[in-house]
Amino acid sequence: MNTSSSSAPSASSKSKTMVFSWKTVESLTQPLLSWRKASIIVIATWLAACVSTPMPPATPAVGTSPFAGVRPGDTDPLPPPRLHGKSRWVAVRWAELPGFEEDTLFEAWNAWIKSCERPGPVFAPLCSEVRRFSIASPEEQRAWMFARLQPYRVESLQGSPEGLLTSYYEPVLNASRQPGNGYSVPLYRVPATLGSRRPWFSRQEIDTLPEARAALNGREIAWASDPVEVMSLHIQGSGRLSIIERDGSQRVVRVAYAGSNEQPFRSITQWLFNQGEGKMVAPWVDSTKAWALKNSPQRVQQMLWSNPRYTFFQEQPLSDFEAAFGPKGAQGVPLTPGRSIAVDPGSIPYGTPVWLASRGGAANLQKLVLAQDTGSAIVGAVRADYFAGTGVDAGLLASRISQPLRLWALWPK
């Protein structure tokens, strides 16, 4: 799934040598507070220097400087380190952010504008400017970021800047409003008795105990055909259904996370490995389905029950505009494919713009992203889950990403 379209110009339509004038600054930033003019002077000075000093074309290794030396104007004393719950933030020069000059920022600006629909108190004062700069060039957007934000390298409390990047996506399942004709695996709304016991019934108990079955009777949203695909939907937390209605018509709806039984999550691939089945070849859904075809229904049931966590959903309509974005994340705003990440909010607050750098066999990523979601497995200081998008291709990418990570939080000055 591609990122949503925007009225912002694409990076390819812009010259690498920037022409910047006071008229441009005033048209983009009026009305601005008078105290900001000093910052703009610094920006203009730096930009003039950029015309005569082109950036080197080579892309550096993760964590190294993307250009030699310190940026003109980026010489003020650095603020002291900050503690953010589970993480330690260390102020750095913009030069430390690998690949910052090459990113097509307008794609990330779409996600940033989404965050401004529900901003936290720290970023709310910047949102009017974020919206105004959505029509600016990438060079002007970078200049604004230099003036208004301070990059901090995110580290563990023990001082390690290294972490792990994984990825998730929005699967698409075939489904029906009524069981039969191969559709036998239900997707449930939240049961009315969910709060009566904590944790609620496990996956195995939901399938076998009359009390649990009775609590879910009439709570079906739809029925799907493949239990492994439904397990993937439970793990991802949301998805889309290409659903056959009772009148025979077909349409696409979204099912979003509404709650869980609060049982612990257990990896099915790890269970298969522990059973001597070897490591499932990515993507795990296809390899696990292939394994299921070779084994008895009882053995497949054991595999499914090995993960006691169970997810409940809510149905949401899906307009053409909404289809360009993912489901709403924990921040409460729609996720932008390729530009939203899930984080541990105890390390990075929701709505924070983050510079992400990660290299591995699946993808080399150096880009601006927004912290807009979380997940039960996303725990720690330098830990992120990259939202890859919707459908088969996104699922293939997501299944392959498990690689080293560095993060820099971009915090208001």
Quote the pTM value: 0.78
What is the distance between the alpha carbons of residues 136 and 395, in angstroms, rounded to a whole number?
33
What is the distance between the alpha carbons of residues 177 and 227, in angstroms, rounded to a whole number?
16
Look at residue 193 and tell me if it is in a domain. yes
Please report which confidence band the pLDDT of residue 36 belongs to, taking 50, 70 and 90 as the band edges: very low
Place of tokens 């779409």: 110
What is the distance between the alpha carbons of residues 110 and 210, in angstroms, rounded to a whole number?
48
Structure tokens at 140: 């002007």
Look at residue 34 and tell me if it is in a domain. no
Look at residue 153 and tell me if it is in a domain. no
Strand partners of residue 407: 356
Structure tokens at 36: 């900001």
Contact indicator for 331, 373 with CB cutoff of 8 Å: yes
pLDDT tens string 49-89: 333 333 333 333 333 333 333 465 577 899 999 999 999 99
Instruction: Give the pLDDT of residue 282.
Output: 66
Instruction: Give the pLDDT of residue 20.
Output: 34
Contact indicator for 337, 388 with CB cutoff of 8 Å: yes
Look at residue 237 and tell me if it is in a domain. yes
Residue-wise DSSP of 235-272: HHS-EEEEEE-TTS-EEEEEEEEEEE--PPP--HHHHH
Look at residue 279 and tell me if it is in a domain. yes
Higher pLDDT, 69 or 401: 401
- CATH code for the domain of 251: 2.40.240.50
Residue 24 predicted with pLDDT over 80: no
pLDDT tens string 183-204: 999 999 999 999 999 999 999 9
Instruction: Give the pLDDT of residue 3.
Output: 34
Place of tokens 């600054």: 25
Instruction: Give the pLDDT of residue 283.
Output: 80
Instruction: Give the pLDDT of residue 143.
Output: 94
Look at residue 185 and tell me if it is in a domain. yes
Residue 8 predicted with pLDDT over 70: no
Higher pLDDT, 227 or 70: 227
Range of the domain at 253: 172-320
Domains contained in the chain, number: 1
Instruction: Give the pLDDT of residue 278.
Output: 83
Instruction: Give the pLDDT of residue 362.
Output: 85
Please report which confidence band the pLDDT of residue 241 belongs to, taking 50, 70 and 90 as the band edges: very high
Look at residue 268 and tell me if it is in a domain. yes
Look at residue 300 and tell me if it is in a domain. yes
Residue 293 predicted with pLDDT over 70: yes
What is the distance between the alpha carbons of residues 322 and 320, in angstroms, rounded to a whole number?
6
